[in-house]
Amino acid sequence: MIEWSLSSNRGLKRLSAFETDTYTVASREEGALFLSPRLKAGERRDIYGKVLSTLKAGSWQMAFEVDNNPIPEMGQPRDFFSGGVAMVKGSAEETAFREQQRVNREQAAHAAADAAQREMARLQAALEIPKGEWAGESKSSKGRQESWPMQVRLLFDQATRKVSGEVEWPTLNSVNRIEGDVVGGKLVFTETAFIRKGQAVLGCVYTLTAPSEISLSGQFECGSADSGATTLVRR
């Protein structure tokens, strides 16, 4: 219900009463709006403003201009809120929502853990042969996107989960020593020393996973000098 009257010092005064309870936004969390109660249905508040009359085509048209935005102080009916699920803080609806979010987080954590275990199992199977020989290439993601064929010989210690071996670069006339670990379902190794020094550099780090028991793939990074993709297949 809205009633208008004249105020001697502030222009037009409107007595406003909402037909439903009103709310303001208390917080936004996890895609939901949490509302704080503001006014009860039927509660009245004064709003001050101006009425503008314009003569158009022989008739007067009126528009109301409010002095200040009343919404922050008065709130809005619940149906007016958009941009996510809206619920009142402290309500049973909030309790049910937060419980469902907790369940969703637990399920996501379990799914991630299961995926990590499957990844680890594939990697273990790929490395279970005491001495594995692999062939493939590393392809740069920079400049001319060059690629270099490589042959990798890996020794995997099941007890310590350490990896050692060598990588040969036929087109770079180089053989480098490699050392690394199995970490969180990933094989991570670094070129640490020259066995036969050529054009290949030291310090490149390879982070690989096992899409299957006979393949390894992932990324390499040589500091700021180069980076790209590496793929290997068991020979």
Predicted local confidence at residue 142, as pLDDT? 85
The structural architecture, per CATH, of the domain 127-234 is: Beta Barrel (2.40)
Residue among 215, 138, 125 at smallest CA distance from 178: 138
Predicted local confidence at residue 128, as pLDDT? 63
Question: What is the rounded CA–CA span in Å between residue 220 and residue 226?
Answer: 8
Give all strands (DSSP E) within the chain, no chain letters. 2-7, 11-17, 22-29, 32-37, 44-56, 59-66, 76-77, 85-88, 131-140, 147-157, 162-169, 174-183, 186-196, 205-212, 215-222, 226-234
Predicted local confidence at residue 14, as pLDDT? 52
Q: Which residues, other chains included, contact 160 with Cβ-Cβ below 8 Å and sequence gap of 6+?
A: none
Residue ranges in the chain assigned as alpha helix (H): 71-74, 92-127
Predicted local confidence at residue 136, as pLDDT? 96
- Radius of gyration of the CA atoms of the chain, in A: 34
Mean pLDDT, 10 residues at a time, over the chain (235 residues)? Answer: 45 60 88 88 76 80 73 80 84 92 92 82 67 90 88 88 93 96 88 96 94 90 92 92
Predicted local confidence at residue 8, as pLDDT? 44
Residues of the chain with CATH 2.40.128: 127-234
